[in-house]
Structure formats: structure tokens, C-alpha cells
DNA sequence: CACTCGTGGGT
DNA sequence: TACCCAAGAGT
């Protein structure tokens, strides 16, 4: 591992900030240092690329321009604003924290990384980012970019997939952060990490800090950062139920305990839930449909006949699961009341107003194709 | 600490 | 294709 002298550290800061002043990106949340703007952008940017965030950030600020507006927002509006951005608990936590700020803090922001972490959804990275950018606290904001950039510059061998490695980087970076411009220093590292020092296709030869890059000097750029691999997502088969009546399409809102909480989908039934685990026969489509119809009759007093929808399944890959959804179709001749079924009839024209996840959009497209083919 | 939680883009 | 990756945090 490399060790920089105080003189090298000074020269590195000067080089990095000079480049940032010339080449730093003009992003919507960099127009000022308002902590609300910094905070919302940092939450959106968690595990999400800048290009994806920009339009969401602009719409979000137009809809919820202040902490108070966010605290008072209707949940449906919030989920709709976050639709498609992923990691939806971020939206809920954002509003919970806005309410914390209004009620517990009386609109007065905590100004240190240590106290910012008391806001739900604000962890070690985001707290340091807000503290340095909005309040000039001299702390390193250690995210994936910082891991990648400094692992290469300094040949740091610690496994960045391990939680304890954050402290290793923090201790190394604390004396390197520019004490006059900590926020700009941290943002410059992020710009570096998303341009010359990307994960797969870096361009270290033209990096503004190539003279400080030990991995480039020793021709082992792609060997850093050291990161252990994660297991591949597990296949989870589902039935997706396309049920119509004169009242509209049948949709359910996902519970607070489920993934995609609060978002609406067609009823999704894990195939594993249909037949008892001790069943000896291999589940067939016909047996699954029979079990499904019997359950709807017994639990919901709904007489429904399902038929398979032709074509491929709908797939959606998440970090730890790969959903493979086989679509079944059913048509009820009358607007049957859903006395026991935990869902709603939604008129086709109103589906667009509901917050829906990507897998629901895919199911809707597949169904629209099937209906168009019949015509 | 290990696991969970979305989506889009790149190779 | 099937991976890997991207401004992480909560449990």
C-alpha cells in the first residue's frame, strides 16, 4: 500500500480541485448548497446512476420544493414520483425524515455527519456527503467511487465488500480531504470515479491524477478495488393473474411488509404457495389452475376460470431474486363485488394513475399485446 | 455480519 | 446470455 507525504497530499488536492473547477459536471443539485437539495439528491443517487437520477430529481423538486412540502405530501404522490427509481424504501424514509426535521428539529438541520445519521435513511456515506457539501465539515464521503478511486491510487487491498473496510478507508482519507473545500473534494472524487476511473473501462492514462495512481504505474488498475462476489439471484416462479370484469382490471396494493411495498400489481401468486410442500406429484399447469380456482372459491367466494395466456413469461431480476411470471387470464361477466378479496377493480383509464413497479408495466404490456392479437 | 431491497446500462 | 456495476441503508 502507498503512503503519501504531506507534500504529496497537498499536491493531490491542488490537482484534483483544479480539474474539478474546470471539468466538474454541472448537475441540477449543484446549483447551490441547500441541505434539502443535497439530501434529496444523495438519497436518489444511492446505488443509482447520475443519468437516471436527473429527471427524477427535477420532477421531485417541482412536486416537493421544501422539507415541509415533502412532510405533508400524500403517500400516493410520493410513490408515483419515485416510480421506476427503485429501492422504494428510500422514498418512504425520505418522508419520515422530513417529518423528523419538521417536528423534532423544528426545521433546523443537524449540521454534522454524526448527527445527520439520526435521520432515517441517512447512513455513514450520505451523512458525510451532506455534512461536507452543505455544511463544510471536513470528512470523507466514502461510496463506491471513493473505494474504487483510492483503492487504485493507494493500492489498498482491503475487500470493499466487507463492512469493516469502510473504517479502513475513512482513516486513510480523513487526512487527505481538503480542509478548505471538503464538499468539492468529495464531489471531485465522484466525478473522477465516473469518468477516468470507472470500474470496467477506465482511462487512467488521461486521468488528471495519473501521477498519483499507483495502480496505473504498476499496470494493475483493473485489479482494484478488491471485492468479493455476491451470489446470483434465485429463481422464483409466479403466476400473474389478469382478471377483468366490466368494472375494470383487478389490482392489489402490496403490503408494507413486502418488496415493492405500497405499489400496485396484478395479483401475483408464488407457485410454491399453491401446492403443499409434501405433495409428491410434480405440479402441472392444470393442477395449479385447479388449486388456484378452488382457493379463490373457498377464500374469496369468487368463481373464476383461469386460462393460460400464450407467449413467453414475464421476467424481472432483482438483487436477490429473479421473478419468472406465467400469466393466467380470467374474465368475469359481471362487476362482481370483492367482498373478501384484498384488491380493487381499477378502470383501464385509471391504472396509469397508480404507482406501479416495473414488473407490472411488463405484465400490462404483455397483456395488451395478447388482446391486440385477438382483435 | 449477512441478508434484503429495484432498476438501467454496459460488456 | 448472464453477468457486473452504479453517489448505500435498514434489519
| CATH code, domain with A305 | 3.90.79.10
CB atoms within 10 A of CB A242: 22
- Do A251 and A188 lie in a common domain? no
Q: For residue A162, what are the domain limits?
A: 6-223
Which has more pLDDT, A275 or A114? Answer: A114
Q: Which of residues 128-167 of A touch strand C (CB under 7 A)?
A: 129, 143-145, 148
Q: Which residues contact A294 (CB under 8 A, 6 or more apart)?
A: none
A128 nearest nt, CA–C1': C7
A261 nearest nt, CA–C1': B5
The reply to whether the CB atom of residue A357 sits less than 7 A from any atom in nucleic acid chain B is: yes
What's the mean pLDDT when you consider all of chain A? 95
Nucleotides of C under 7 A from a protein CB: 2-10
Nucleotides of B under 7 A from a protein CB: 1-11
Confidence bin at A294 (pLDDT 50/70/90)? very high
pLDDT score recorded for residue A231: 84
Give residue A213's region: left, alpha or beta (phi > 0; psi -120 to 50): beta
The reply to whether the CB atom of residue A198 sits less than 7 A from any atom in nucleic acid chain B is: no
As given in the structure block, the three cell numbers for residue A75 are 403517500
CA distance A244 to A371: 12
Of A189, A223, A257, which marks where a domain is finished? A223
Count of domains for chain A: 2
Q: Is A161 helix (H, G, I), strand (E, B) or coil?
A: coil
The reply to whether the CB atom of residue A162 sits less than 7 A from any atom in nucleic acid chain B is: yes
* Residue A277 pLDDT exceeds 60: no
A44 nearest nt, CA–C1': C7
Catalytic residue among A11, A42, A75, A293: A42
The reply to whether the CB atom of residue A183 sits less than 7 A from any atom in nucleic acid chain C is: no
> Is-catalytic flag, A42?
yes
Q: How far is CA A201 from CA A84, A194, A198, A239, in A?
A: 27, 10, 6, 40
- Do A178 and A284 lie in a common domain? no
Q: Does the residue A1 lie in any domain?
A: no
| Alpha helices (runs of H) in chain A, residue ranges in sequence order | 6-23, 35-45, 50-63, 67-71, 75-82, 89-103, 113-116, 124-135, 144-154, 165-173, 182-193, 214-217, 285-300, 358-374
pLDDT score recorded for residue A36: 98
pLDDT score recorded for residue A311: 79
Of A184, A202, A223, which marks where a domain is finished? A223
- Do A188 and A335 lie in a common domain? no
Which has more pLDDT, A217 or A312? Answer: A217
CA distance A324 to A22: 48
Report, in angstroms and rounded to the nearest whole number, the Rg of chain A calculated over CA atoms.
Answer: 26
Q: How far is CA A135 from CA A3, A14, A60, A152, A180, in A?
A: 29, 21, 23, 29, 12
Of A154, A189, A223, which marks where a domain is finished? A223
Confidence bin at A53 (pLDDT 50/70/90)? very high
Nearest residue, CA→C1' of C5: A199
Amino acid at each position: 500500500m502507498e503512503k503519501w507525504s504531506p507534500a504529496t497530499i497537498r499536491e493531490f488536492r491542488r490537482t484534483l480541485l483544479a480539474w474539478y473547477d474546470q471539468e466538474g459536471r454541472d448537475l441540477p443539485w449543484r446549483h447551490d448548497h441547500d441541505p434539502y437539495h443535497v439530501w434529496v439528491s444523495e438519497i436518489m443517487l444511492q446505488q443509482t446512476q447520475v443519468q437516471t437520477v436527473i429527471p427524477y430529481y427535477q420532477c421531485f423538486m417541482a412536486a416537493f420544493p421544501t422539507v415541509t412540502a415533502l412532510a405533508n405530501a400524500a403517500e400516493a404522490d410520493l410513490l408515483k414520483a419515485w416510480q421506476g427509481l427503485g429501492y422504494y424504501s428510500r422514498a418512504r424514509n425520505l418522508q419520515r425524515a422530513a417529518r423528523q426535521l419538521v417536528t423534532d428539529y423544528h426545521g433546523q438541520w443537524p449540521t454534522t455527519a454524526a448527527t445527520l445519521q439520526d435521520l432515517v435513511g441517512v447512513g455513514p456515506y450520505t451523512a458525510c456527503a451532506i455534512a461536507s457539501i452543505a455544511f463544510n465539515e471536513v470528512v470523507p464521503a466514502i461510496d463506491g467511487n471513493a473505494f474504487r478511486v483510492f483503492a487504485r491510487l493507494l493500492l489498498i487491498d482491503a475487500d470493499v465488500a466487507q463492512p469493516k473496510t469502510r473504517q479502513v478507508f475513512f482513516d486513510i482519507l480523513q487526512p487527505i480531504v481538503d480542509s478548505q473545500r471538503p464538499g468539492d473534494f468529495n464531489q471531485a472524487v465522484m466525478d473522477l470515479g465516473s469518468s477516468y476511473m470507472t470500474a470496467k473501462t477506465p482511462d487512467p492514462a488521461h486521468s488528471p491524477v495519473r501521477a498519483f495512481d499507483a495502480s496505473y504505474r504498476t499496470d494493475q488498475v483493473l485489479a482494484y478495488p478488491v471485492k468479493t462476489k455476491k451470489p446470483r439471484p434465485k429463481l422464483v416462479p409466479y403466476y400473474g393473474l389478469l382478471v377483468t370484469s366490466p368494472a375494470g382490471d383487478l389490482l392489489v396494493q402490496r403490503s408494507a411488509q413486502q418488496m415493492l411495498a405500497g405499489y400496485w400489481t396484478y395479483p401475483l401468486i408464488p407457485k410454491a404457495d399453491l401446492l403443499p410442500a409434501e405433495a409428491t406429484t410434480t405440479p402441472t399447469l392444470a393442477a395449479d389452475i385447479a388449486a388456484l380456482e378452488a382457493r379463490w372459491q373457498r377464500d374469496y367466494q369468487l368463481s373464476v376460470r383461469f386460462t393460460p395466456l400464450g407467449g413467453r413469461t414475464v421476467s424481472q431480476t432483482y438483487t436477490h431474486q429473479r421473478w419468472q411470471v406465467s400469466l393466467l387470464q380470467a374474465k368475469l361477466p359481471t362487476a362482481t363485488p370483492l367482498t373478501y378479496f384484498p384488491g380493487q377493480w381499477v378502470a383501464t383509464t385509471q391504472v396509469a394513475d397508480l404507482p406501479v413497479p416495473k414488473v407490472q408495466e411488463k405484465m400490462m404490456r404483455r397483456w395488451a399485446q395478447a388482446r391486440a392479437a385477438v382483435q
